[in-house]
């Protein structure tokens, strides 16, 4: 069987399949269904300096081959995470990636300090949330702001910093280069694509926030293209996500240049999806006679 271990900017993962932020909570619910230790890692629900209730409902809508969400970073706040959720997660044998969102660079710095001291394995700096008014997407669409947040996070973090990019830009390589230049140890992409759905009878948008973020199988080709572009533009490792629901999808993402992958919306349709993705990826490696899953990374043969 192929060696499934990968390394993401110094963080050892027993396999390349992780859970995308916001789609797995803090692991408690899925932990009742199966042994989450089989996964390589978990990126926890986006944390903010203080508790957030999130946006009003409806904030989830099913769309063709995907979903829209406008959850808006509902979370207990970084201190409650450290006190109540992290100790539970640490009982598991998987990499803990703390996903953070701030309204100012200082807030990112403050959370990096607290989370490093609390012993997470990696920090994922979300500069790409389309569902919050302050910060969020503004940082992810402007290279100079993305670089500023990255530099502050790096200055305050004692663990590797991964910056999560938004697909809601014209040229994602520009942002990728900016965060690499500011010291990012890894890059994750993609966050959700801004979208909208309208109820024809009421003539109201389906989401209370009017717009939301699109994810699920519909976005896979966009994500694969963007991972491929970013892989050609930077040297830091990439965590690829967006629309992965099978081992072949994960393999595509790795061939495009990702060192590891994350499964998100697919777990809403099928809670077992992350494990299935892993098993199918293992089967692909074996069928292709690979000694290591790492052989897939960046191995696409463009025409
Ligand atoms: C309900 C929901 C909540 C999300 N919350 C977060 C979040 O808190 N922080 C973040 O960085 N990304 C968040 N995301 C984005 C996912 O982590 C992922 O980047 C995106 O959904 C694309 O992957 P997918 O198509 O496999 O879902 C969320 C996505 C969904 C569907």
Known catalytic residue at 112: no
Q: How far is the CA of 290 from the centre of ligand 1 (A)?
A: 31
* 264 Cβ closer than 6 Å to some ligand 1 atom: yes
Q: Check if the beta carbon of residue 284 is closer than 8 Å to that of residue 276.
A: no
Domains of the chain (ranges plus CATH)? 6-53+73-194+214-296 (3.20.20.70)
How far apart CA 154 and CA 147 sit, in angstroms, is 10
How far apart CA 92 and CA 95 sit, in angstroms, is 9
Q: Check if the beta carbon of residue 165 is closer than 8 Å to that of residue 127.
A: yes
Q: How far is the CA of 111 from the centre of ligand 1 (A)?
A: 20
Q: Which of 8, 82, 123, 129 is catalytic?
A: 129
One digit per residue, the tens of pLDDT, for the chain of length 303 reads 999 999 999 999 999 999 999 999 999 999 999 999 999 999 999 999 999 999 999 999 999 999 999 999 999 999 999 999 999 999 999 999 999 999 899 999 999 999 999 999 999 999 987 666 555 677 889 999 999 999 999 999 999 999 999 999 999 999 999 999 999 999 999 999 999 999 999 999 999 999 999 999 999 999 999 999 999 999 999 999 999 999 999 999 999 999 999 999 999 999 999 999 999 999 999 999 999 999 999 999 999
Q: What per-residue string of b and e applies to 181-212 under the rule 16 or more CB within 10 Å gives b?
A: ebbbbbbbbbbbbbbebeeeeeeebbbebeeb
* 66 Cβ closer than 6 Å to some ligand 1 atom: no
* 164 Cβ closer than 6 Å to some ligand 1 atom: yes
Mutational test site, ligand 1, from 18, 21, 216, 260, max ligand atoms within 8 Å of CB: 21
Q: From the alpha carbon of 189, which atom of ligand 1 is closest?
A: 19
* 244 Cβ closer than 6 Å to some ligand 1 atom: yes
């Amino acid at each position: 069987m192929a060696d499934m271990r990968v390394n993401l900017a110094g963080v050892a993962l027993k396999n390349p399949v992780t859970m995308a932020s916001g789609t797995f909570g803090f692991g408690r619910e899925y932990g009742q269904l199966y042994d989450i230790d089989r996964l390589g890692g978990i990126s926890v629900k986006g944390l903010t300096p203080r508790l957030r209730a999130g946006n009003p409902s409806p904030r989830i809508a099913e769309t063709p081959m995907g979903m829209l969400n406008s959850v808006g970073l509902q979370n207990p706040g970084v201190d409650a995470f450290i006190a109540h959720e992290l100790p539970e997660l640490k009982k598991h044998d998987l990499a803990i990636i703390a996903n953070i969102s701030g309204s100012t660079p200082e807030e990112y710095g403050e959370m990096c300090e607290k989370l490093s001291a609390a012993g997470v394995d990696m920090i994922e700096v979300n500069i790409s949330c389309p569902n919050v008014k302050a910060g969020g997407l503004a940082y992810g669409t402007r290279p100079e702001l993305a670089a500023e947040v990255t530099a502050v996070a790096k200055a305050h973090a004692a663990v590797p910093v991964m910056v999560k990019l938004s697909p809601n830009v014209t040229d994602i390589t520009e942002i990728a280069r900016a965060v690499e230049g500011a010291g990012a140890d890894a890059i994750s992409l993609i966050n959700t694509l801004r979208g909208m759905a309208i109820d024809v009878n009421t003539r109201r948008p389906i989401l209370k926030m009017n717009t939301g973020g699109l994810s699920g199988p519909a976005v896979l080709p966009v994500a694969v293209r963007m991972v491929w572009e970013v892989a050609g533009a930077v040297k830091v490792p990439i965590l690829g996500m967006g629309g992965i629901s099978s081992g072949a999808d994960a393999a595509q993402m790795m061939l495009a240049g990702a060192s590891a992958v994350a499964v998100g919306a697919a777990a809403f349709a099928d809670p077992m999806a992350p494990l299935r993705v892993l098993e199918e990826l293992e089967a692909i490696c074996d069928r292709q006679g690979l000694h290591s899953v790492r052989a897939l990374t960046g191995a696409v043969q463009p025409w």
